[in-house]
Structures are given as C-alpha cells and as structure tokens.
Amino acid sequence: MHLYLCAFHIAKKNPKLVFEAHHYCMPVADEVHQCVISDGTGKNARILGVEYIISDKLYRKLPDAEKKYYHPHAYEITSACSSRRI
C-alpha cells in the first residue's frame, strides 16, 4: 500500500448518510488502484470493503451492465480529510 486517503463517502441508497472512510491504496495495473477501506485507523478499525479506482478512460470502455459497480471519486478527493504517501 503506497497511498493513504481519508475521505467522506456518501451512501448510494441514502445520500444523507455520509461517513469517514480510510483508504489504503496500491496500483494493481495501469490506470487501476485497489483500496482497502476501513472505518478508522486504530487497532479496533474494521474493514468496510475493497474498492477499485479506475481511470475515466477505462470506465468509458466498460459494458453498461458493469458501470453500475463504479462511481466517480471527485467528491471523495475534494472532501479528503487527509492524504499522504505511505
């Protein structure tokens, strides 16, 4: 993992639900990063899931049926509570 980002996520089915998410990311291919997302940074932090961040160029090539599994990250990046290389 080479990148840490603390950002705010918005729940897809309930846009009023916003929570802090801690991302630990690494590149896995050209234009693809894999991030483990947790609810905190301490010893009691829980893993919330794994997220793949792909370039817009790759996203546009996906079949429409697969695009529903992705979302833009512009808000997460601009809402970042902190980020750093690790």
Strands 32-38 and 18-29: antiparallel
Q: What is the pLDDT of residues 43-83, one digit of tens each?
A: 999 999 999 989 989 999 999 999 988 877 666 667 667 77
Distance CA 35, CA 26 (A): 7
For 79, other C-beta atoms within 10 Å of its C-beta total 14
Q: What are phi and psi of 6, to 5 degrees?
A: -100, 120
pTM of the model: 0.76
**SS3 (DSSP) at 67:** helix
| Closest by CA position to 67, among listed 59, 75, 79 | 59
Per-residue pLDDT at 75: 66
